[in-house]
A and B are shown apart, each in its own frame.
Chain A
Amino acid sequence: MRTFEEKWTAWLDGKLSGRELTEFEASLPDKAAAEAEKADAKKLGTLLKREIGTYDLANEEFFSRQLREKIVRESTRRSRKRDSAVATWWTVRRLLWTGTASLAVFLVFAIFVMHDKNPAEQSQYLTQILNARVDSVVSPNATISMFEAKEDRVTVLWTEGLQSLPADYAAK
């Protein structure tokens, strides 16, 4: 909803019409006085337009030349800034992000590689042998050694001094 000031301005500039115009004019306590005010405003406008108008720019060419020099300096400063921006592309933030990303990639690869390099599960038999107790009375000097060739997936169990195998040893 328009304020009184907005309606007055629109009325003065001839922008009110139809019902809005009728209602506004009806709301004016003294239409004749308002019309006189409107005429005064028109005269003011005419006066301003006539007396102010365009103010000539003296030394137009000098104005343009001076401006040109400022813009050339501006452009030179910008290109220098761009060059130094390339040299300083590696900001602290970028360094941190790159470092974090590199570390993440390294960890991912490390986990996969380590997983691949995990030794094969011990054979069921080896586990049984190692878990089996050697009777120290029967075989006091028994030793068990394990040799493994990972590339060939060969595991050799070398026993020495074993007089008998433990009773609970058996392939299941």
Chain B
Amino acid sequence: MQTEATLAQADVSELDLVKRCQAGDTEAFDELVTRYRTRIFGMIYNMVHNEQDAWDLAQDSFVKAWRSIKRFRGHSSFYTWIYRIVMNVTIDWLRKKQVKGGSEFDDAIQLKEVDPASKTVPKENALPYETMERSEIRAQIDNAIAQLSPEHRAVILMKEIEEMQYHEIAETLGCSIGTVMSRLFYARKKLQNLLKDVYENI
């Protein structure tokens, strides 16, 4: 378990790497890439569900980060800073690709009356959790997430997987905290509808 001193040391070390990058040191950037490549690739893959696309987007994100490294002021951690670039690149790519289903979801359309106790409707062809292969579960989850808009996908993944706070998500996506919370509301509702049979048996 990392102590506070270790974490502080790591931060200083990272800041040192960033300063070297800003001076044009590509080896320092290489070190930062090594630290975050897996996490960033994983996040992008969860957004786009295609390895090759995730690979290309991760590469593009790091190249963009290299180009704009001199603009990093240290107001946030390096990871938060690069994460923002990653999200912008990925969401832009998804918008352009117009993922079917996700693009149909309109933030402006709000449910007028939302029954807070509304139950989700179970699917007709329910399968017992025990008989589902792991890959099937993953496929169902991927399919459900793919039906969210890029923005909703981003908030749900950042909240549930990355465990980011509302203000961190807002800062990364460049929107208000209220927007983050609103998007979480609709993303969770939709996923609950689509995945009820899967999580109910947990």
Residues of chain A at the chain B interface (Cβ within 8 Å): 2-6, 8-10, 12, 15, 28-30, 32-34, 36-37, 40-41, 43-49, 51-58, 60, 63-64, 66-68, 70-72, 74-75
Q: Do most interface residues of chain A lie in helix, strand or loop, or is the interface mixed?
A: helix
- B170, CB-defined interface residue at 8 Å: no
Name the residue of chain A whose CB is nearest to the CB of B141: A51
- B29, CB-defined interface residue at 8 Å: yes
- B72, CB-defined interface residue at 8 Å: no
**CA–CA, A49 to B184, complex, Å?**
15
- B130, CB-defined interface residue at 8 Å: no
Range of interface residues on chain B? 35 or more
**In the complex, chain A residues whose CB is within 8 Å of the CB of B161:** 48-49, 52-53
**CA–CA, A47 to B140, complex, Å?**
12
**In the complex, chain B residues whose CB is within 8 Å of the CB of A15:** 166
- B62, CB-defined interface residue at 8 Å: yes
- CB proximity of A33 to chain B, nearest CB, Å: 3
CB <8 Å contact, B181 and A9 = yes
CB <8 Å contact, A71 and B184 = no
CB <8 Å contact, B42 and A8 = no
Q: Do most interface residues of chain B lie in helix, strand or loop, or is the interface mixed?
A: helix
Interface string of B26-60 (1 = CB under 8 A from A): 10011001100111011001100001001100110
CB <8 Å contact, A28 and B116 = yes
Q: Which of B34, B120, B186, B195 contacts A64 (CB 8 A)?
A: B34
A47-B141, A54-B39, A57-B42 known; A8+B199 contact, CB < 8 A: no
**CA–CA, A63 to B58, complex, Å?**
9
Q: What are 29 A-B contacts defined by CB distance under 8 Å?
A: A3-B182, A4-B116, A5-B114, A6-B178, A9-B182, A34-B117, A36-B119, A37-B117, A37-B118, A40-B199, A40-B200, A43-B202, A48-B141, A51-B137, A52-B138, A55-B41, A55-B45, A55-B54, A56-B38, A57-B42, A63-B41, A63-B58, A63-B59, A67-B59, A67-B63, A71-B66, A72-B26, A74-B63, A74-B66
**In the complex, chain A residues whose CB is within 8 Å of the CB of B160:** 44-45, 48-49, 52
CB <8 Å contact, B37 and A64 = yes
Residues of chain B at the chain A interface (Cβ within 8 Å): 24, 26, 29-30, 33-34, 37-39, 41-42, 45-46, 51, 54-55, 58-59, 62-63, 66-67, 110, 114-120, 134, 137-138, 141, 156-157, 160-161, 166, 178, 181-182, 184-186, 188, 191-192, 195-196, 198-200, 202
Name the residue of chain A whose CB is nearest to the CB of B111: A5
**CA–CA, A51 to B110, complex, Å?**
30
CB <8 Å contact, B198 and A47 = yes
CB <8 Å contact, B199 and A47 = yes
Q: Which of A5, A43, A68 contacts B182 (CB 8 A)?
A: A5
**In the complex, chain B residues whose CB is within 8 Å of the CB of A36:** 117, 119
**CA–CA, A8 to B195, complex, Å?**
20
**CA–CA, A63 to B145, complex, Å?**
26
Name the residue of chain B whose CB is nearest to the CB of A2: B178
